[in-house]
Amino acid sequence: MQDHFFTLSDAVAARLRGNEGFLATFRGEASQFVRFNTSSVRQPGTVEQRNFALELFDGKRHASASMTLTGAQNDDLARIDAALTSLREILAVTDEDPLFLINTTPQSSTRVLPHALPPPEAALDAILTSGAGQDLVGFYAAGPIHAGFANSFGQRNWDTVHAFSMDACFYLQADRAVKMDYAGTAWDRDAFTAKADAAKQQLAILARPARTVKPGGYRVYLSPAAMEEIMSMLCWGGFGLSDHRTATTPLIRMREDARLSPMVTISENIAGGLAAGFQGEGFVKPDCVTLIENGVYRDCLASPRSAAEFGAPQNGAEGFESPVALDMAAGSLPSADVLKSLGTGVYIGNLWYLNYSDRNACRMTGMTRFATFWVENGEIVAPINVMRFDDTIYRMLGSNLAALTAKRDVRLSTDTYEARSRRAMTLPGAIVDDFKLTL
């Protein structure tokens, strides 16, 4: 796909007229997808897609056209020619865009990460073997994901990762289940089996009679998976320059005097993630942008367009200005001491379906899901029936944050909306006091 993309980009360059220039981005994947229900295959298949986005500019007038590609050069050049015709028509009637900002200094790069993905038969065999005699439900995805960039200044970037993920759970009954995730770039059957076995062992606890806790404030442990849900909400407007400058960020109070716990440091750590290191206007992302440091808001993710609008430096963010490699600093609580530190309270394995109940207060609501347990004196006692929480970030990660774990999990996104995601988060678990459960 790399050669094809660069060949098409060269062809665009050869077709430019006058003062025209172009930006081109490529997104592609060849993915194996297998869905499982009741330890059987539900929908197995392959999705192969190539998407080419072409932005034509002339001075500060510009417009873009995205298109799928066949991979056959003549067919794809015909599509590009048609797109160029449409874009020239648009530029002819378009005003100059005062916010158009692109990288004009070529910064080419190539990264193809090493990998070891299993043949589909091997993955199927491992998964179905672990699911035998159980109610396994889940989704396996594997294959290469490609990203490319080219422009009329001669810049060429390419990035390929070969990754897999098995996002699954073992069900006991009704809504009672244990979640397991196994993802990476090198498949290890033994490691997968060990994860599956650990999940299955938790089913014995889920078999105990469930408790229903009353609404109120509880000391809780939020696993890294639960923290991922909270961080995903924060990523929705929490860190973008545009959101901050237009006062629409849910962290609006941090622009004034609100603080989180000094234990909280959050950054965009591109160097430690799977996301490509370049963006759609050709800028290279810095290795790290500190967003919150020791509880104090620091920098925003600034796309070139926002940077131009608000007079700030850009820092390689895409237009959506949301982290793709969020990194939360570790604390000091050893994993082995989590239950002891929790004492009596709720061990929350997963959260689900979060949304803001008051954006100004950065107050969010959501549900517990999967393995969530009542803990007494450092011992797991029983599963609890699902509960709704509704609390602010300033309490959860501020005044009520008791501890962060020393060990962090790398959470590779399993999102596949339109295409497989390359987002990742590195997160500790957290002990939180007086966590508000409401329904």
Partner 1 sequence: MSALADIATRFRAVAPACDYWTVRCIRQRSESLSVTRGVIDPVGLGDDLGVMVTVRANGAFGYAATSDVTAAGLARAGAEARAWAQRTAGRAIAAPIPAHGTPAHYDHEAPAAQSWASVSRADKIVRLSHLAAALKTDDRIANWQAGVSFTDVESVIATSHDDFIRQRYSLIVPELEASASDGGETQTRTFGRGGNIRQGGLEVLDEIGFWSTGPRISAEALELLGAPDCPTRTMDLLLAPDQMYIQIHESIGHPLELDRILGDERNYAGTSFVTLDMFGSYQYGASMLNVTFDPSLFGEAASYAFDDDATKAERAYLIRGGILERPLGGAVSQARAGMQGVANARACSWNRPTIDRMANLNVEAGSSTFADMVAQVETGVWMQTNCSWSIDDSRNKFQFGCERGRLIKNGQLGAVVKNPNYRGISATFWRNLKALGDASTVRVHGTPTCGKGEPNQAIHVGHATPPGLFAAVEVFGGG
Q: Segment 77-106, which members bind partner 1 (CB under 8 A)? A: 79, 83, 86-87, 90, 93-95, 97-100
The site map against partner 1 for 396-425 (x = CB under 8 A) is: -------------------xxxx-x-----
Q: Of 23, 65, 117, 346, which one interacts with partner 1 (CB under 8 A)?
A: 65
Pick from 410, 398, 403, 411: which is nearest to 429 by CA?
A: 403
Pick from 434, 353, 348, 432: which is nearest to 397 by CA?
A: 432
Q: Answer yes or no: are the C-beta atoms of 226 and 351 closer than 8 Å.
A: yes
- Segment contacting partner 1 (CB under 8 A): 106-114, 278-286, 327-335, 365-373? 365-373
Site for partner 1, residues 135 to 174, rule: CB under 8 A: 137-139, 141, 167-169, 171, 174
- In 136-184, where does DSSP find H-type helix? none
Token digits of residue 370: 């999967």
Site for partner 1, residues 181 to 240, rule: CB under 8 A: none
CB of 55 to partner 1, least distance (A): 8
CB of 265 to partner 1, least distance (A): 24
Q: Of 178, 231, 234, 252, which one interacts with partner 1 (CB under 8 A)?
A: 252
Q: Helix or strand or coil: residue 283?
A: coil
Amino acid at 25: T
CB of 306 to partner 1, least distance (A): 11
Q: Of 50, 146, 219, 395, which one interacts with partner 1 (CB under 8 A)?
A: 50
Residue 388 makes contact with partner 1 by CB under 8 A:
yes
CB of 168 to partner 1, least distance (A): 6
Site for partner 1, residues 297 to 326, rule: CB under 8 A: 309
CB of 90 to partner 1, least distance (A): 5
Q: Answer yes or no: are the C-beta atoms of 415 and 421 closer than 8 Å.
A: yes
Task: List, in order, residues 6 or more apart from 54 with CB less than 8 Å away.
Answer: 12, 22, 23, 24, 64, 65, 66, 67, 80, 83, 84, 87
Distance CA 45, CA 85 (A): 36
